[in-house]
Amino acid sequence: MPRTEEQFEGIREKKINLIMQTALELFASEGYYPTSISRIAQKAGISKGLMYNYFAGKEELVLAIIGKGINKLTESIDPNQDGFLTAEEFEYLVNENFRILQENSDYWKLYFSITMQPAVFKLVNAKHSDWLPHFNAVVEDYFRRKGVPDPVAEASCFDAMLDGIFLNYVMNPDGFPLERIRMMVIERFK
């Protein structure tokens, strides 16, 4: 019996997810530049030619991986999409970010390695730079409504602190007291 369009789409989605997950693992463990399309295809158990049916090359693949991760973060910024955060929504934002960090440590290894590679970061940042101003605007507004004297600096401090927490956790997941720090962040900024 021939496959339906939905079955073909399901197969396509599974292959795309397999390729992206395999590439993410390899990029995170071996680096972006040393990882070849051939190596990704081999580890995913598919042909190199099939890889090119889904992604034009490594650049498109890394953009898709970073975009998917950023989309997860964007969803946590303002859960009800009304443009401002309540104290409960701010706590949700923190909790979701920490959950995303724990569940996707390979993604964050890749993200931080990309930030240290100017050519790759430039490529990724050009495509996905619109989420950070939105994040900052929502968080700044939250601090402004709380009466913080300098909401811009407070939002920048919060963002930089999250970056530092994420980086430290990625570098030492077993020795980093993530749960205690999550509670401290909520207490400090909520």
Question: Per-residue pLDDT tens for 148-172?
Answer: 999 999 999 999 999 999 999 999 9
What is the distance between the alpha carbons of residues 148 and 37, in angstroms, rounded to a whole number? 49
138 domain residue, yes or no? yes
Given this model, what pLDDT does residue 36 score? 95
- Domain hosting 68: range is 58-189
CATH of the domain at 83: 1.10.357.10
What is the distance between the alpha carbons of residues 38 and 51, in angstroms, rounded to a whole number? 9
Given this model, what pLDDT does residue 134 score? 84
What is the distance between the alpha carbons of residues 91 and 94, in angstroms, rounded to a whole number? 5
The tally of domains found in the chain comes to: 1
Q: Using the structure block, give the residue that is written with the tokens 């290894």.
A: 109
Question: Per-residue pLDDT tens for 51-108?
Answer: 999 999 999 999 899 888 888 888 888 888 888 899 999 999 999 999 999 999 999 9
| Total-model pTM | 0.83
